[in-house]
Amino acid sequence: MSNLSALQGKHIVLGITGGIAAYKSATLLRLFIKAGAEVQVVMTPSAKEFITPVTLSALSQKPVVSEFFTANTGEWHSHVDLGLWADCMVIAPATASTIGKMANGVADNMLVTTYLSAKSQVFVAPAMDLDMMAHPSTTRNIESLKSYGNIIIEPQSGFLASGLTGKGRMEEPENIVEVVADFFASRSDSSLAGKKVLVTAGPTYEKIDPVRFIGNYSSGKMGFALAEECAARGAEVTLVAGPVALTTHHPSIRRIDVESAREMLDACTASFPDAEIAIMCAAVADYRPEQMTDKKIKREHTEVPTLRLVKNPDIAATLGKAKRPGQVLVGFALETDNEVANAVEKLERKNLDYIVLNSMRVAGAGFGTDTNAVSIISPQGTVKDVPLMSKDRVAGEIITAITQKN
């Protein structure tokens, strides 16, 4: 379902930087205007080498802002006013240089000063050559932007202007517009106002000795995206997180950090009675060592140790047993064979209301990535397929599907 109508009347600052993909910014601008948004273009000086301000001012029906002053009149362009005017800021394309300046507060042009003054949500669509994209400095700067709460619209892999093929192509304008429209649609959606939601996320670590553990590759990104989505729709969220390197942004998220499955179970059983919805997204370790030695197991002086494992509690099934009428319990599944049949069996066995099947077949879905592709299976056995998209957008699709009847 398209949320383009959510852009009606919105004030968008479109920041354009100097990369080849700037030619696509005209299409992006056109699509925003077509959806009813008012757009103010801010360009870096080098962006003008790639696309003319005349094209952009004609499409936006506003003079393009690029300098701090208009040279002949001395008129000052206030980045503070622009920052206040904006309902959101979209920087597309964002070059490595501008991303670096944004991450580090290097305010030497109108675009970066406006960014630093912006009070609203900022979307960043990077575009650059694959080596620049893969450079640790770009990775670090993008991580900084994420930690400021900016939404990164990931570049795609494909044919690049350099003639090389790899990750760095700016996301297509149609998709950028959809991401921004989804954002406004979910913000105006207060369908979960006053509701309490419990979300689990990330892996669990099961200690072997003080320095070693059994864990898994779960990054927690899907669970964190679900928590943000529920909070954006007005819910009070308790996020029980295993060890992950992620931050939360919405003030309505109460985060409880745990390490082991048993700690996660304790936090969940404490919160579940109050929750209307519980989403079990964590990749809980199925087994833990029977014993944790309190001293590091040494390589010298010991026989090769044998690890005896015992079963961990099944948190989802425990909550399933305690579930009251009206509570909605959602699980996740990762299956390698008979995917849907196994997921439905799990839904029944754990007394879940919905199960979200992570696709093992789609490249870019699953552990660690920023994207996912899932199938949402309802109690009636209906399956809604969600194709590969960002985990933020997948979260929106999941919450919409599981709340349709609430």
From 280, 328, 376, 394, residue interacting with ligand C5P (rule: CB under 6 A): 280
Chain length of the chain: 406
- CA dist., res. 350 & res. 347, Å (int): 6
Task: Tell how strand 212-214 and strand 206-209 pair up.
Answer: antiparallel
Residue 402 to residue 397: CA distance in whole angstroms: 9
Q: Counting runs of H as helices and runs of E as strands, what totals does the chain give? A: 13, 19
Q: Which residue is catalytic, options 175, 216, 342, 351?
A: 216
- Judged by CB under 6 A, which stretch of 108-116, 246-254, 311-319, 379-387 contacts ligand C5P? 311-319
CB of residue 77 vs ligand C5P: minimum separation in angstroms?
A: 51
What's the angle, vertex CA 219, arms to CA 128 and CA 141, rounded to 5?
A: 30
Query: Minimal distance in Å, beta carbon 26 to ligand C5P?
Result: 45
Site for ligand C5P in 247-276 (CB under 6 A): 261
With binding defined as CB under 6 A, does residue 346 bind ligand C5P? yes
315 binds ligand C5P (CB under 6 A): yes
- Asked if 331 touches ligand C5P (CB under 6 A), the answer is yes
Whose tokens are 């990750």? That residue is: 167
Cβ–Cβ < 8 Å for 249, 209 = no
CB 369 within 8 A of CB 379: no
Question: Cα–Cα distance between 272 and 136 in angstroms, integer?
Answer: 41
Give backbone dihedrals phi and psi of 253, rounded to 5 degrees, phi first.
-100, 120
User: Which span sits near ligand C5P by CB under 6 A: 12-20, 89-97, 121-129, 313-321?
Assistant: 313-321
Stretch of 45-53, 84-92, 191-199, 277-285 lying at the interface with ligand C5P (CB under 6 A): 277-285
User: In the complex with ligand C5P, which residue's Cβ is closer, 94 or 199?
Assistant: 199
Question: Which segment (237-245, 279-287, 295-303, 361-369) binds ligand C5P by CB under 6 A?
Answer: 279-287
Q: Give the amino acid at 218.
A: S
Asked if residue 358 binds ligand C5P (CB under 6 A), the reply is no
- Please identify which residue in 98, 113, 312, 403 interacts with ligand C5P, judged by CB under 6 A: 312
Q: Cβ of residue 352: shortest distance to ligand C5P, in angstroms?
A: 8
Nearest to ligand C5P of 127, 261 (CB atom): 261
331 or 396, CB closer to ligand C5P? Answer: 331
Asked if 314 touches ligand C5P (CB under 6 A), the answer is yes
DSSP 135: S
Binding mask 189-228 for ligand C5P (x = CB under 6 A): -----------x----------------------------
Can 338 be counted among the known catalytic residues? no
CB of 64 to ligand C5P, least distance (A): 49
- 3-state DSSP percent of the chain in helix, strand and coil, to 5: 35, 25, 40
Q: How many CB atoms lie within 10 A of CB 406?
A: 11
- The CA-atom distances, in angstroms, between 117 and each of 70, 79, 96 are 20, 7, 20
Residue 245: phi, psi to the nearest 5? -105, 55
- Binding segment toward ligand C5P, per CB under 6 A, in 43-51, 57-65, 299-307, 312-320: 312-320
Among 16, 333, 373, 399, binds ligand C5P (CB under 6 A): 333
Residue 180 lies near ligand C5P (rule: CB under 6 A): no
Task: Name the one range near ligand C5P by CB under 6 A: 44-52, 99-107, 148-156, 282-290.
Answer: 282-290
For the CB of residue 20, give the shortest distance to ligand C5P in the complex, in Å: 43
Question: Using CA atoms, how far apart are residues 200 and 186, in angstroms rounded to an integer?
Answer: 21
β-bridge pairing 371-377 and 383-390: antiparallel
Q: How far apart are CA 179 and CA 288, in angstroms?
A: 40
What does the DSSP 8-state code read for residue 171? Answer: P
# residues contacting ligand C5P (CB under 6 A): 14
Give the count of beta carbons closer than 10 Å to the beta carbon of residue 83. 18
| Closer residue to ligand C5P in complex, CB, 10/221 | 221
Residue 347 C-beta-side C-alpha neighbours within 13 Å: 21
User: Is 89 among the residues that bind ligand C5P (CB under 6 A)?
Assistant: no
Q: Which of 111, 142, 241, 282 binds ligand C5P (CB under 6 A)?
A: 282
Distance CA 179, CA 90 (A): 11
Known catalytic residues? Answer: 216
**Would you tell me which residues interact with ligand C5P (CB under 6 A)?**
200, 261, 280, 282, 284, 286, 312, 314-316, 331-333, 346
